[in-house]
Structure 1
Amino acid sequence: MRITKDPKERRKELIAIAEQLFIEKGYEKTAISDIVKKAKVAQGTYYYYFKTKEEILDKITDKYINQTVEGMQKIANEKGSNALEKIIKIFHFSSSFRNNRKSLIQYLHEDKNAHLHHKFERKLPVMISEPLSKIISQGVKEKIFDTAYPQEAAKAFIGVSSMVMQGIYNIKPGSEEYTKMLLATIDFLERILGAKSGLILNAYKKIGGIK
């Protein structure tokens, strides 16, 4: 019996299934026929929502950007956590999000997908600067951080971390190079925020972020 679904629900389902297959099999090895087979729909149904496989990958990119922003906003709006705890949660959230989708995120940042990489680089920094700025402002009030420019500090941190962590998708977590990138990023963050040296690093070590 054919199951009729709301168009928005069907579209969302196809994106979720494609994402799962891209992570499990790899983007290049996943065919549109694999997606429709798992979704149990006709090939024509897929083409009703998406013209190509590249288009659904583009929608997954948008999904990742929105999920990252929503995750950071949720942390920034938490009650009962101080700014240092929230910064550590941001690090943990970002690391977990990246590692759980590593193969696909790595593919999105390959040279041949420059337009998707640029979408990340263009949209994400602007969208996450607000929750980061909110956390930094909280930290200034709590006297954990010392900066007169929370908004600018958020933008500076995003820019610096983006440069330092460039290529991290191709590096094994826990490796010497991976750890060096994290240490450098945290060091720069402490300086940008005017935090006591080692404050963020030691807090991150406590949750096992760095061995």
Structure 2
Amino acid sequence: MVRTVKDPETRRAEIIAAARRLFQIREYEKTTMQDVMDDLGIAKGTIYYYFKSKEELMDAVINQMGDEAVERMQKVVDEGHGNALERFQQLIAAGNIADENPEIMEQLHNPKNAGMHAAMIAVTAKRSAPLYAQIIRQGCEEGLFHVENPLETSEFILVSIQFLMDMGVYQWTEEDLMRRARALPGLIETLLHAEPGSFQFLFQQGN
């Protein structure tokens, strides 16, 4: 039999795809590196050449999920229609990672994976902030927002929301979470100097 030799990028992508699929089906904790090897029919030396541990492989899966979300969000910025408020909603929907990866996100909410989860939130906020800043600039041009520092404002909003509202970071009660969700639209409207009620859709989405 002729041994098939694949280029490094193709092989690495295959390993990440297999791990992502297994993490969804079997859960992260129950999946081993051997499971990934068996799924792909590759040797131990091959997988460990690319990933030194299951944690490193999970990190690659998370980065891939983030890449996909940012790509969708970039498309909204480049091709989306409507005013800034409408595009804000489109951007939020495009950046939703949890709906397509529920099992993986559930694993990240495990206290044992808190460091990995926090890193994902930080990286996602950093990468998506410039995209939100573009929409904020559009809103300023349309007279919907009045902000002097769009990028810094978007960074502040994203990091605050993602950390404060994430049940994997803070073990809020349902009442705690609802109280913050109700306050969120008004807080963003204050930061953006937007019309009262213009961000009420955020609370409606959370229900």
Fold shared, TM-score > 0.5 on shorter chain = yes
Secondary structure class of the residue paired with 1:100: coil
In 1: Cα distance, 2:42 partner to 2:5 partner: 10
Q: Is the 8 A contact 2:108 2:168 kept in 1?
A: no
Change in CA separation of 1:101 and 1:156 when aligned onto 2, cut-off 3 Å: same
Change in CA separation of 1:185 and 1:64 when aligned onto 2, cut-off 3 Å: farther
Which residue of the partner structure matches residue 73 of structure 1? 74
Q: How many angstroms does 1:92 deviate by?
A: 1.7
Q: Is the 8 A contact 2:136 2:150 kept in 1?
A: yes
Which residue of the partner structure matches residue 10 of structure 1? 11
Which residue of the partner structure matches residue 40 of structure 1? 41
The correspondence of residues 27-176 of structure 1 with structure 2, limited to 5 A, is 27-95=28-96, 97-167=97-167
Q: How many angstroms does 1:179 deviate by?
A: 5.7
Change in CA separation of 1:7 and 1:163 when aligned onto 2, cut-off 3 Å: closer
Q: How many angstroms does 1:11 deviate by?
A: 0.6
Show CA shifts across 1:1-53 (max 9, x none): 55432221111111011011111111111122221222232333222322221
In 2: Cα distance, 1:31 partner to 1:105 partner: 18
**Runs of at least 5 residues in structure 2 that lack an aligned partner in the other structure:** none
**Identical aligned pairs, as a percentage?**
30
In 2: Cα distance, 1:24 partner to 1:176 partner: 32
Q: Is the 8 A contact 1:160 1:185 kept in 2?
A: no
Q: How many angstroms does 1:165 deviate by?
A: 1.1
The amino acid of 1:108's aligned partner reads L
In 1: Cα distance, 2:114 partner to 2:80 partner: 39
- Structure 1 window deviating more from structure 2 (59-68 vs 6-15): it is 59-68
In 2: Cα distance, 1:76 partner to 1:189 partner: 20
Which residue of the partner structure matches residue 195 of structure 1? 194
Change in CA separation of 1:4 and 1:124 when aligned onto 2, cut-off 3 Å: same
In 2: Cα distance, 1:176 partner to 1:105 partner: 22
Q: Is the 8 A contact 2:184 2:202 kept in 1?
A: no
In 2: Cα distance, 1:139 partner to 1:100 partner: 29
Q: How many angstroms does 1:121 deviate by?
A: 4.2
Q: How many angstroms does 1:140 deviate by?
A: 0.9
In 1: Cα distance, 2:108 partner to 2:203 partner: 28
Q: Is the 8 A contact 1:129 1:151 kept in 2?
A: yes
Secondary structure class of the residue paired with 1:116: helix
Change in CA separation of 1:144 and 1:30 when aligned onto 2, cut-off 3 Å: same
Secondary structure class of the residue paired with 2:183: helix
Change in CA separation of 1:14 and 1:85 when aligned onto 2, cut-off 3 Å: same
TM value normalised by structure 1 = 0.80
Change in CA separation of 1:13 and 1:181 when aligned onto 2, cut-off 3 Å: farther
The amino acid of 2:128's aligned partner reads I
Q: Is the 8 A contact 2:122 2:159 kept in 1?
A: no
Change in CA separation of 1:42 and 1:170 when aligned onto 2, cut-off 3 Å: farther
Secondary structure class of the residue paired with 1:77: helix
Secondary structure class of the residue paired with 1:133: helix
Which residue of the partner structure matches residue 23 of structure 1? 24
In 1: Cα distance, 2:201 partner to 2:123 partner: 31
